[in-house]
Amino acid sequence: MTAPDATPIRLGTRRSELALTQSGHVADAITAVSGRPVELVHITTEGDRSSAAITQLGGTGVFVSALRDALHDGRVDVAVHSYKDLPTAEEPGLVIAAVPPRQDPRDALVARDGLTLGELPAGATVGTGAPRRVAQLRALGLGLEVVPIRGNVDTRMGKVTSGELDAVVLARAGLARLGRLDAVTEVLDPLQVLPAPAQGALAVECRSDDDVTRSLLAALDDAGARACVAAERTVLATLEAGCSAPVAAHAEIGEGEDGGDELYLRASVTAIDGSDAVRGSVSGPATEAHRLGRELAADLLDRGAGALVAASR
């Protein structure tokens, strides 16, 4: 009987606690399905080196390009990304070999005194680094002062415990992966604040000509998560908007009338000042995720979404 390959798989990851946690989960899964050891290789990205706002750094890709460079030049065999950070265009020579099961994609509020969003008084300061969240929070008309922030999860939550801010809005998925859900005072209903396309999902990437690694990673893929992410990101791509644009999309899979998987997709584009928004929804077979994303984006564009995306730039 042939012994399993003991050559370590080199997995590229950012150095933040959240990135290391996510990459560690993927590494454990790779070892579980293959028996191969996994070595984490720390990569520093442009987004990690700067404290400037993501929009000032150029938006999409600031947490991605260094990891992809390491894949291209052979320093690593696999890279793990927060899927929402990836540019929508495909990267030549690389492939998303797996989309593991997705965490809850909703946003979460961490507020002083256990308050919910509706309980925060007018003028309360709420921190977030995402234009999408800024726009949607302003659109609620609660009179909140939305403050731009950067930093890791603990840094952001620390602004609440220190009294600098009344609340912050973060991705629930990151808090769950870090074991910080006890700090959440409200999980935000998507009817109020719709998540970012691909929020809560991971993308496991490798070189497209590395057949061995592609085959190994395929065992980690979740078809439902891949379909939902495909629909959401197709909306983003069709709108020609990056991950820093005020575009939101959320897909879920349920049982259709014919017994097959039905994909339900909602999306919105909101003016940064919250004064205007275009929203829509569509449903259809989960196997047609890309078509559904294009169809919904076309509907949003017909109703003025393009002007809102352009204004956000």
* Enzyme catalytic residues: 85
> Which among 120, 97, 243 is positioned nearest to 171, based on CA atoms?
243
Residues contacting residue 185 through CB under 8 Å, at least 6 positions apart: 109, 110, 111, 114, 115, 116, 167
Cα gap 76→70, rounded to integer Å:
6
Q: CB neighbours (10 Å) of residue 216?
A: 21
- Residues pairing with 283 in the sheet: 264
CA distance 219 to 30: 8
Strand order in the sheet with 94-98: 38-42, 9-13, 78-82, 202-207, 94-98
Sign, CA torsion 236/239/240/242: negative
Annotate 168-196 with three-state secondary structure. EEEEHHHHHHCCCHHHCCEECCCCCCCCC
Q: Buried (b) or exposed (e) across 15-29, using 16+ Cβ within 10 A?
A: ebebbbebbbebbeb
CA 25: distance to chain centroid? Answer: 17
75: helix, coil or strand? coil
- Nearest Cα to Cα of residue 45 among 70, 30, 62: 62
- Lookup: tokens for 237: 């791509």
Report whether 156 contacts 168 (CB < 8 A).
yes
How far apart are the C-alpha atoms of 130 and 272, rounded to whole Å? 10
